[in-house]
Structure 1
């Protein structure tokens, strides 16, 4: 049984201007112990897809539809609310983009991590504090005793991110979902955090989903990759195949925009145009506005994912023809 099963997931949000269609018919799976990267521009539906899986979207404004939405065999569409906390802590944990916004500024780090342990395990407060100290050491936190007695604003960005990783892993989840975990960090700390996540995955055997807009991040941390655009999956393959032979024009454009691929001074390449309006998504391929290869068929017909070998699928009418 796969660790993650998402089939035909669609998510929309109500707004004064109408229904915002953030995710449209997304399907993906993740096996136990495997790693998956989800990449794409801001607004492509990456984070919303995983927030829907964890049932973290606001029920007042979000409408979630899916044929299948399972996490380690648990049907997340029908899971009772009183059981969700256990699933989120012990089955899946999430590292948020901004650790400063994820910690309560009024409580010390030790209090917040200890509360997580006490919520999921039947242990005393002293035992919970020992687990917290052990986990901070495990994520290579400098001076963990001082960190435990510190408030979030007293820590650097890299230390806060390590504390966030410790909080996510302290319940020993089967899958770690990292949502842009290195966005606010400098390149040196970013490399350290990515190395730490990779080491912890190998050590614990947990599954990993890395959400990012940075192809360099997924190249270092995951085996498989999903490219999203306009709320849809454009390409799904291994990291090696994506970098060696991308098939979808959007994936090709993303790779071409990475600086430093050609020696010497070169003008940075950009993808012209803008992402489609989620209030009125196009009937055809969502990328056709910005695609040099698009024709009238691309404007009218929505492409479906089609396999090109056992590990490569692409949603592009030009590739299929």
Structure 2
């Protein structure tokens, strides 16, 4: 799936402020914004719930790899995501491997980049999903020590924020579920030692398909769950390639465990090729009915069809409206904008 895209070419106290906003770790959440209204997220059964225990569905966008598309993240790009698209959440895709120009090449630089995305998302009242985008090799255990270092710092600095979500393994592949589970159960205590309350997500085997892309039954995961609280499992799909059988898997697993679709596209699994909006709509309808939160790939101007902006958009300052959007962008923007309020 996503591996081909890598080619670059606490329950902290919430203080209500008069008339304006909610404060989280020194940053103001705009009044009425998704993170201000919903507060600290928690898992309720198989649902994602807000601070009041109400089941909600978050909808938003993923960045492309921040090592390649940091230039997109200017104020107008954020303005479009917040005010034009009316998104609830942004996923920050931080690739890990040196071969993908990721975190390994300069841990300090990439950790600081992620700090910056978190602060900007907080300032705008968005939830921010910090994505440890390990992809190749597919076994997250290769990066356990690096992941512990990264997430310990992120959690320590942002533990009092109520809008942070940790995604500790993007798309595990060519690795068994027990090994992924072992990795998750090593990482989660590191985060919990700093931030005992925020939501944590992990990918599943078969590129986050509960093993379906590896022709394994999802019971491999469902019968051997991660030992953690306030935890969700991620599911990924690309509608042109992942057909009705994947829809059925998503329907099945989301009735058994809490699921967050942290990445999907309307194209092929490369993030490129023709769109299949009819197939994608089947997923959208299912996720709406079951209140499964999602982020779409991706909010950049990459040349592939899955990037919502036309090539060259990020060199300018115009991101709102539809004139700069590819067909996939027009389609997903309309869905985000027209979605029911939480």
Pairwise TM-score range, normalised by the shorter structure: 0.3 to 0.5
Structure with the higher fraction of residues in strand conformation: 1
- Alignment TM-score, normalising by the size of structure 1: 0.35
Higher radius of gyration, 1 or 2: 1
- Alignment TM-score, normalising by the size of structure 2: 0.33
